[in-house]
Amino acid sequence: MGKPLYPQIRYCTRCCLPETTENIIFDDMGICRGCISAEQKMHINWKEREKKLRKILDSYRGKSPNGYDCIVPISGGKDSTFQLHILCNVYKMRVLTVTFNHNWFTETGRYNLQNALEKFNVDHIMFTPNRSLVNRLARHSLYKIGDPCWHCHAGVGAFPLSIAVKFKIPLLVWGESAAEHEGRFTYFEPVEYSADYFREMSAKLTSCEMANNEISKKELRCFDNPTEEELEGVGVYGIHLGNYIFWDGERQVEFIKKEYGWKEADVENTYKRYKSVECIMEGVHSYAKYIKRGYGRSTDYASTDVRAGLLTREEGFELIEKLDTQRPKMLDHYLKISGLTEEEFVRVLKSLRKGKAKKLD
């Protein structure tokens, strides 16, 4: 029977999330906010929410002088492909797609991205930071925020905003709700749109705070959000489709595979073959999270599946023990591009343990 990895750590009594999860809250019965959010999801009048979505989309239709109704940040992942289906084929919006290229695309990810652009016949703009900068940021990101992906966290937030300002397209549309997994927010208390959303949720630091003697502020300007005045001048506003339509990742993947030829592939450190399939570093990101917080992405996905009745809690813990603790093969590549040793990689992450995570020491 599967059981929690760390007996000294408190876990949700319903799913597999530990108390080391960022901003986690347990109720009096020991149930986490993610599980509470999943319960709320079952009691929402989604027809009424969809009416709100339609009203929002109609209010922005034809608003841009450049002929686009909205911007969709697209990675080639399952969410952005489904977003294009909803916006282009269901609501008939004219979409401009934008991609921040993290420089770590898998072959499957490249195929899915190009396939989506062609299947939905959308215009597309991509920004790719140079390889040297990405490698240097990958090293310093580990020290600064405890994972190698600051450039991706910051870029996927800043680049779409910059395009929104330049092309005067006020509406940006993302996919699943922030209430869907870890429970930082709930469906009854959704996150309010903010230009700093991705910094607050994942990047944590501004470009000025990432600059050092190896990375100049000038090099990092591409990761800066437009000014408040620029954003307000265009009236930039963002929504997540998952707050307005019922979000079911499993069914959506089945749908886009069948209808649009979207492809899965093996992803390190998880049993899901569609989550972050576009990124070679997903396993390294997950493994870093495991060392720092005592759980990785398989814990997130298993907890979601337990709530949905796809796994028992014990089955979830069995998968977590096998996969969250696994050393990813791509760690060798990360160590090569960052110049770190594996011992240093582990030491840095352990040194960043805070709060409840100190129980892991």
Instruction: Return d(Cα 290, Cα 286) in angstroms, integer.
Output: 6
What are 45-61's pLDDT values in tens digits? 999 999 999 999 999 99
User: What pLDDT does 55 receive?
Assistant: 98
Single-letter amino acid, residue 145:
I
pLDDT bin (cut points 50, 70, 90) of residue 199 is confident
Selection from 235, 248, 201 nearest residue 86 by Cα: 248
User: What pLDDT does 225 receive?
Assistant: 95
Instruction: Return d(Cα 124, Cα 213) in angstroms, integer.
Output: 35
pLDDT bin (cut points 50, 70, 90) of residue 329 is very high
User: What pLDDT does 161 receive?
Assistant: 96
User: What pLDDT does 194 receive?
Assistant: 81
Instruction: Return d(Cα 226, Cα 231) in angstroms, integer.
Output: 6
Classify 46-243 by CATH class.
Answer: alpha beta
Q: For all residues of the chain together, what is the average pLDDT? A: 95
Please state the domain extents for the chain: 46-243, 264-354
pLDDT bin (cut points 50, 70, 90) of residue 106 is very high
User: What pLDDT does 193 receive?
Assistant: 77
Instruction: Return d(Cα 205, Cα 60) in angstroms, integer.
Output: 31
Q: CA 26 → CA 41, 306, 326, 340, distances in Å?
A: 18, 17, 28, 37
As a whole number, mean pLDDT of residues 226-230 equals 95
Between 179-183, 253-257, 357-361, the lowest mean confidence (pLDDT) is in: 179-183
User: What pLDDT does 128 receive?
Assistant: 97
- Percentage of the chain with pLDDT > 70? 100
Q: Is pLDDT at 198 greater than 90 in this prediction?
A: no
Q: Is pLDDT at 208 greater than 80 in this prediction?
A: yes
User: What pLDDT does 84 receive?
Assistant: 98
As a whole number, mean pLDDT of residues 125-152 equals 96
Instruction: Return d(Cα 220, Cα 210) in angstroms, integer.
Output: 8
Q: Is pLDDT at 184 greater than 80 in this prediction?
A: no
pLDDT bin (cut points 50, 70, 90) of residue 1 is confident
Between 172-181, 257-266, 314-323, the lowest mean confidence (pLDDT) is in: 172-181
Q: Is pLDDT at 277 greater than 90 in this prediction?
A: yes
User: What pLDDT does 153 receive?
Assistant: 94
Q: Is pLDDT at 195 greater than 90 in this prediction?
A: no
Q: Judging by beta carbons within 10 Å of its beta carbon (0-12, 13-18, 19+), is residue 247 exposed, middle or buried?
A: buried
User: What pLDDT does 74 receive?
Assistant: 96
**Are 55 and 38 contacting, i.e. CB atoms less than 8 angstroms apart?**
no
Instruction: Return d(Cα 56, Cα 50) in angstroms, integer.
Output: 10
Q: Is pLDDT at 2 greater than 90 in this prediction?
A: no
Q: Is pLDDT at 183 greater than 80 in this prediction?
A: no
Q: Is pLDDT at 219 greater than 80 in this prediction?
A: yes
3-class secondary structure, 337: helix
- Percentage of the chain with pLDDT > 90? 90
What are 88-102's pLDDT values in tens digits? 999 999 999 999 999
Q: Is pLDDT at 185 greater than 90 in this prediction?
A: no
User: What pLDDT does 202 receive?
Assistant: 79
